[in-house]
Structure 1
Amino acid sequence: MSPPALSRFPVPELKDLPDDLRARILEVQDKAGFVPNVFLTLAHRPAEWRAFMAYHDALLLKEGGSLSKGEREMIVVATSGANHCLYCVVAHGAILRVYEKKPLLADQVAINHRKADITPRQRAMLDFAMKVCTASHEVEEADFAALRGHGFSDEDAWDIAAITAFFGLSNRMANVMGMRPNDEFFLMGRVPRPPRPATA
């Protein structure tokens, strides 16, 4: 039986990609030990790949604000679960486990963040994110007030909403493409990482 396709759309070969895409992908491969499938599947359209990665980096690698890297990943996992996105739940669940050093957390957040082992502050953050995800037309001043009660600023609320909205796009495209999560993601943060082979 042949392995399932990464996407129902064409997936370009690394050697055929523009230099800037190839350089970024090789950088990720060197750091992670593998290439996340999202980098390859979205490379089908290089201009959109660049725009997607630029916004991704602006949201998830942003300096400042009160959201930790782990909390940003919590938002991705919770809202991706609501959007039934296998790729994003698995891939960002792995990153969440690594950042928070909690092997059970991603599964809890993906299924029901209100039962997860998180702080009241993080629960309020995810309550807001889930409302943006599922009923953004109902967001009102009381939702911002609830966040402020846990120490979040209105700029933090923007970050929570923007991460949620961006991954709403990502979730939908991953579902349409049938994007397959890398096998490596399933065990990341659950079991000790194997040692990297020595280089000459």
Structure 2
Amino acid sequence: MSRLTAPEPEAIPDGAKGILDAIQKHFGFAPGMFNTLAANPAVLEIVATLQRSIAKLLDAKTRHTIALAISRTNGCDYCQALHTFVSSELGGMSSDDIELALNGSSTDPRRAAVARFVQRVAETRGQVGDADLAAIRGAGYTDSEILAIVTVTVVFLLTNYLNNVNKTVVDVPAPSPKAA
């Protein structure tokens, strides 16, 4: 059972209704995390704005890889379920790529480097070593892209923390089976 209370549908503050409608349209359902955040429309707006903003950073599969790696590193069951669904249904990632990302890797060497780097960012609370930076640079990432990687990571850390504090009940549908 979630520890924070989501407002009943008729009690959702006006400032949150439009945001929840847009989220429902995007995902095809309203994930419980967002329903809980609707208890504070300003928080819901901040999270939704950050998530829309990071869509401008990096390619989608790299963002999904970051989300999956960070969610597993932080032990956020809710985020792992949601990002597995999104990566599969909206992001075009295979179940193998999703499993690799959850474990800090990828079939793509650049994304594998990103997954390992963001795990180090989370594990060290941002105090990565010179070797960590050398590894991500060695995979071909520029300092500008590293800034984007860290920014995307922090946005997913935020939702991991919100859902871990809440112990949000997983209400995310399983991804549809795909032909191999």
Pick the TM interval, shorter chain. Answer: 0.7 to 0.9
Shift of 1:141: 4.1
C-alpha separation between the residues in 1 aligned to 2:126 and 2:22?
40
Q: Partner residue of 2:177?
A: 190
Moved over 6 A (4+): none
Choose 1 or 2 for highest CA Rg.
Answer: 1
Shift of 1:183: 3.9
Q: Of residues 98, 101, 109 in structure 2, which corresponds to 1:109?
A: 101
Alignment of 1:158-197 (within 5 A): 158-184=147-173, 186=174, 188-191=175-178
C-alpha separation between the residues in 2 aligned to 1:133 and 1:102?
25
Query: Could you give the per-residue CA deviations for residues 26-71 of structure 1, whole angstroms, max 9, x where no partner exists?
Result: 2232343311111101112222221222222212x21xx5x21121
Report if aligned partners of 2:15, 2:41 keep a CA contact under 8 Å in 1. no
What code does the residue aligned with 2:20 have?
I
Q: Partner residue of 2:133?
A: 144
Shift of 1:78: 0.6
Report if aligned partners of 1:102, 1:189 keep a CA contact under 8 Å in 2. no
C-alpha separation between the residues in 1 aligned to 2:116 and 2:100?
14
Q: Partner residue of 1:197?
A: none
Report if aligned partners of 1:101, 1:189 keep a CA contact under 8 Å in 2. no
C-alpha separation between the residues in 2 aligned to 1:72 and 1:183?
19
| Structure 1: gaps (5+ residues) | 193-200
More displaced, 124-133 or 44-53?
44-53
Shift of 1:101: 3.6
Secondary structure at the aligned position of 1:104 is classed as helix
1:100 aligned to 2:89? no
Alignment of 1:18-167 (within 5 A): 18-59=13-54, 61-62=55-56, 65=57, 67-98=58-89, 99-110=91-102, 112-114=103-105, 116=106, 118-167=107-156
C-alpha separation between the residues in 2 aligned to 1:137 and 1:9?
28
User: Structure 1 pair 40/130, CA: closer, same or farther in 2 (3 Å)?
Assistant: same
What code does the residue aligned with 2:161 have?
R
User: Structure 1 pair 71/189, CA: closer, same or farther in 2 (3 Å)?
Assistant: farther
User: Structure 1 pair 153/9, CA: closer, same or farther in 2 (3 Å)?
Assistant: same
User: Structure 1 pair 55/30, CA: closer, same or farther in 2 (3 Å)?
Assistant: closer
C-alpha separation between the residues in 2 aligned to 1:33 and 1:77?
20
Q: What is the alpha-carbon root mean square deviation over aligned residues? A: 2.1
What code does the residue aligned with 2:95 have?
P
